[in-house]
Structure 1
Amino acid sequence: MIVILLLSSIAPLALLGIISYSSFHSFLQNTLKNAIQENVKKDLIGIDNIFKNMNFASQQIALDMEISSKISTYLTTDDILEKKQIRLDVQKRMALINYSSPHAGIIAILDGSDKKVVLNNSPVVDVIDPDLHPVVVKVNGIGYHAPHPSANKYREETEPLVFSLSRKVTDYQKNTSYYLYLESNFRSLPQLFNGQHYGEPVTHLLLNPDGMVVYSSDTGRFPVGSEWTPESASRKDFMHFEAVSDQQWRTVVVMEGEAFSAEVNAWFYKFVMIVLFALALCLLLAFVAWRSIYRPLQVFRKEIERMGEQQAIRSRKLLHLSEFDDVLGRFYEMRTRVYDLVREIERREQARSRFEVEKLRYQINPHFIHNTLNTVQVIAKIQKQDEIVRLITYFTRILHYNLGKEGAFVQVRQEIANLKDYIALQQIRYNHAFQMKVQVDPDVEGVTVPRFILQPLVENALYHGFKNDEGVITVLACREADGHIRIEVADNGVGMSGEQVAALLPEQGESRGRSGMGIGLPFVQQLIKSYYGNEYGIQIESEPGRGTTLTIRVPDRVKEGTADD
């Protein structure tokens, strides 16, 4: 029972665990990875927006002919007042660009020959060489640079890196050229490369179209200038996600997957705790069920042992469990009935012993009568009293037959032979005052029937059927179409009323009259029902003044299990 309870608890939990793990794993593999991939795409879109914003800001200077011309004049004129005015105009435009562009930071004009800073909107270093900064992509002569330290003259080491844009502007009319240098502000990179979006620290990479690393948040593992391949992550449990821009530069995020593993481990630990709790609860319930079932079973076992040892009836016990109390109550009732049956069997065995003694004693009288009759028969022969000899001969055969020397069953021919002796004896007694007709089919003579079923029927016809000297008794035995044996005893006597017919075969328990030799029709009725079943018996048809017909209809064999006792 405990094993079944454990299996019934573990099996659903195991199935639930497998399904939950596969679903959870699928969710993390698909949903979480898709979310990370979307964040990588958002990073790429954010960088692309920064580049576009800086490009738009640069266009406001490079493509503005007036500003561009003033910058060319500034590079070629020696007039200090004119330069001052041009500086104010350019710085005013730079301030407007900073105000209108959310990502624009430092804006500087570099000399086309030596990269010295000519004009700027913030304090910067004297020389800015964009070629020293890694290039993410170069489009139409415009270089988009990966994050690098700012050119701010007063920059601190802890300040975030910045994106930058450089474009060369040439004034063919004045034969001058300069570089427009524009940086993103300090907030751009931290807003993009934020590890909180991924749930754990990650490594951000920027790759140029050739697959070279131009920016790495972990230069120890992924140095700038190295070639990126997925195998370069070096560990199998690392996960990487990529997003590709229209210009084929890429953003890559490399993560160890600790958040993924942590979620799986947290789920696994919770599931293990649930399993352990379920097992503990299952064992507790099994122990309670064991006590609830085993103890009543012990009571049953002890009660059965006492019953087998035939101990005296003890007081009944209550288990205070309705189901067991009901079963135990039925057991006590069965025990009472069994003890009653045992006492009844003992009583019957004692009665049977007494009956055997009585039977032996009553057998003495028939033997004495036989011996006496044989003596009378011998004396009658000596005295030549033939009538007395025939009378004693018939009576001796009838007595011998009725005492059951042939057993409980005889053939029809034996029953007919005994009946003829009985009729012959009665004809002597009544001086041949009636006639006897016997019709027996040869097919029926060998059929076995209970002994002593015909004589009481004929006896009833003699005692109740005749009041004159023209009486006729007809005995018929034949086989019917369905195989049953039909025996009829009919007389042409005075007949009987319905009440008289009912009195011949009273119901069980009613007082019954005794006729003839004290056996009568009720004996034959009970004999037939005992050997053939309750659906068989004697049928009586009689009307006053028209005689009586007694009919027995039985199968050609007695029912199974009937002993010849």
Structure 2
Amino acid sequence: MTLKNRILLLFAVVALIPFLLSCYLSYRTINSILTTKLQSGIQSNLKQVTLSLENTLSNLNHASQQLAFEGSIGKQLEQLMIADQPYDRSYLTDQIKYQLNLIAFTNPNIGLSMYYFREDGTYLFETMGVKDSFDPEKLPIMASYYGITYFGPHISNDRFNDQYVLSALRKVDLPEREDAYVYIESGFKLTQSILDLDDVSKNTAHLILDNHGRVSYSELGDMFPENTTFPDSGHSAVAAATSGLTSDYYWYRQYSNQGWSVVSLVSKADYDQEKNRWMMQMFLLTVLFAAVSLAIGWLLWKMVYRPLSQFHREMKQMLDSNFDVVDANSRIPEFEMLLTQFGRMKSHIARLYSEVEIKEKRRADLEIEKLLYQINPHFLMNTLDTAHWLAVMNGQEEIDRLVTSLNKLLYYNLRKGGQSSTIREEMDSLRQYLILQQIRYNFQFDVRIHIDDELLNVSVPRFILQPLVENSLYHGLDDKGRIEVEVSRHNSRLEISIRDNGRGISEEKIKELLEQEQAERHRVGMGIGMNYVKRMLESYYEGHATLNVSSEPGKGTWIVIQLPIQCKGEELS
């Protein structure tokens, strides 16, 4: 890990660990407080809702008792059912209506009330208009016991009332009619206030479950449809309250003494709203602490790491042979002193490097100049001896041809005038050399030269083609041998290719020819081999030229030279 990363990590750890520990302890405390507060509030509210519903059902029970057979109005209904005289029927009807109005007056929360006959679906003494769709069989049952059935919140059957109400259906037990029932509804205002009692959470929803755990009323019809069983209905009424989690909702359940129960539902998002708000605040504070610690770490890095980076840049420049001295300006005296000393060292190394480079260049020039004049005298002697025997055997024409080519070749190789030449001059010298070799040996070989005219004036080092062609002649070329010399241009570089179809050269022999200065000079005609060409290219082009030799036994050798294009006398287009 770098010094910069260590500094930033250290400051981040020192700043964040104590803060995160404090956040963890605070979260545990806040979570406990908020959970206790929310749960106690919901459960307290459930108790109030349950007591209110029980009182409403008790009022319905009390009012229905007065209308039942045991009550005063029930007895008058029995008398009305058996009365024959119109006067008696009229009198009893007035008395029953009077009693019903009295009950409605003394119980303002009572709404629609009437006698209902199930077999023929008729009703009597209704206090308000009844909707045509009235059917007790379709109402959601909340509880049923002791001959009375309580229906959970539903739309009132009052023709002029569309609010939710609670209702009760009680059997009258008339001797004359077994299908007589009392139907009575609670006032819708009380029921609505019961459902809106929850002030703990604005988004709390309610369910009312019957004795068997079926949903008789639901404020979340999509998640908990009516007439379906609540997911957790296995608890008995002995439990005062239960709670759990289902369908992304926290639920709390309160049982009544009659067996039905009320469930409050709170979504996870609302339940965790307070904790999420607190966690967001802690997250923002964490980001702030991290930013402050990173800023302090960055300031320390600026004081310490930047001078080290400057040291690194100086060393890298020195490795890249850049010895320029840069002014030390780190604003820290210790680092400025070190940078100053390092700059002095660079200056001293640059002077030594320059002196060594000059000496090496002089030494390379002397070695190349020495090689230029190391011509093997055996070559001249053998060639002159060949000229002698040709003169005896063939006459003056062959002698003239031999001597002329020899003179041109010696003139080019031994002339004074530096190391530079052109492709044109190199090719002329090569052709004279090939004439001498074809006359000297008793086998024929084909030499094909391909060169673009625009490359004839390109400047190259003197005496680089002949040693490479000479290598092809002396390493495996025999009758019907072929040597191809091609000079071409590839982008901005000059490529010289010499290919033969001889026996080939092994990798060890190629390495020996390129690296050993005195390798088998007695066998080579001019005495200067590929090692000379390699060293000449390195000295002349300073590393910008390449010499590649590849060979395959039985198929020949391929030598490729790539040089930067330099024209003599004019620019190459």
Structure with the larger RCO, 1 or 2 (CA within 8 Å, 6+ apart)? 2
TM-score of the superposition, structure 2-length normalised? 0.45
Computing the radius of gyration over CA atoms, which structure comes out larger, 1 or 2? 1
TM-score of the superposition, structure 1-length normalised? 0.46
